[in-house]
Amino acid sequence: MKIAVSSDSAEVEAKVAHKFGTAKYLVIIDLKSGESEAVPNPGASVQRGAGMQAVVLAVSKGVEVVLTGHCSPTAKNHLVANGIEVIPDLSGTVSELVERYKKGDFGKHEEAELGHRPKWARIDKALFKNAVETSAKQFGMLLPILAGVVMLMGLFNTFVPRSFMASIFSGNRALDTLWGACFGSITAGSPINSYIIGHELLSSGVSLFAVTAFILAWVTVGLIQLPAEIAALGKRFALARNAVSFVLALGVATLTVLVFNLVVG
């Protein structure tokens, strides 16, 4: 197993370098054989890309662990991506750090543990806590609006019978499609309910164009839920989304029925 310690000189008693990328040497120690090698860092004298040159050097030498002072996030990510454990923010001499590593002083080092975790598992606890608190506050603000929306849905579905909805369709394909989209936009609820209502409308002689537009608008447009959507996503976005969804419901309904009739007919 090879350990690389960033250093400003080639001796094992030298101090660890303050920065990994600009360290003059990487002192590489083979723990199995005890041999050490001080390799000049080609990035020590450059202004840009120093960290990457040090990364390439460590990888080419088969290093498995890097002990260093500061290590930039970019250099660290590349080292970790190549299977190299990074333990930064250290001080002392090269020999001292190697001995500490042998004793297991860095075995539970937080940075080392994070370096071996997949990216999806690296969660900033402070950010997570803030996200939870923000979501809880937003939900608390939306709760009264959502309660009002549910009551409005219940009132509309109770006092506007489906027979009345069927009676307003005139038999004109274009006008009925528009009416279907309008009623689908106003009403709301489970998508399964829209299928039941759509079946009853078809049984009452309403055209398939109107029923298809009704179902599409039911699941994509929601005027009753609009106050809650505005509160959550903003007025401009909510209005634009509902308007676009309404227009698309008309077009998609017409296209869907035409294709259906072409395939079945």
4: left (phi over 0), alpha (psi -120 to 50) or beta: beta
Q: What is the pLDDT along the chain (265 residues), one digit of tens a residue?
A: 888 899 988 888 888 888 888 888 989 988 888 888 888 888 777 656 667 888 888 888 899 999 998 888 888 888 998 899 999 888 888 888 888 888 887 754 444 444 444 444 444 555 566 667 777 776 776 677 667 656 655 665 566 565 666 667 777 778 888 888 888 887 666 666 677 777 777 777 788 888 898 888 888 887 877 887 787 678 888 899 889 999 998 999 899 989 988 888 6
- Is the full-model pTM beyond 0.85? no
For residue 51, report the phi and psi dihedrals to the nearest 5 degrees: -60, -40
Spatial separation of the C-alpha atoms in residues 254 and 130, rounded to whole Å: 46
Pairing of strands 85-87, 36-40: unpaired
Go through the domains of the chain in sequence order and give each one's CATH number: 2-120 (3.30.420.130), 137-264 (no CATH)
Q: Are 23 and 68 a contacting pair, CB within 8 Å? A: yes
| pLDDT value of position 244 | 92
Angle formed by the axes of helices 226-233 and 125-159, nearest 10°: 160
For residue 111, report the phi and psi dihedrals to the nearest 5 degrees: -65, -35
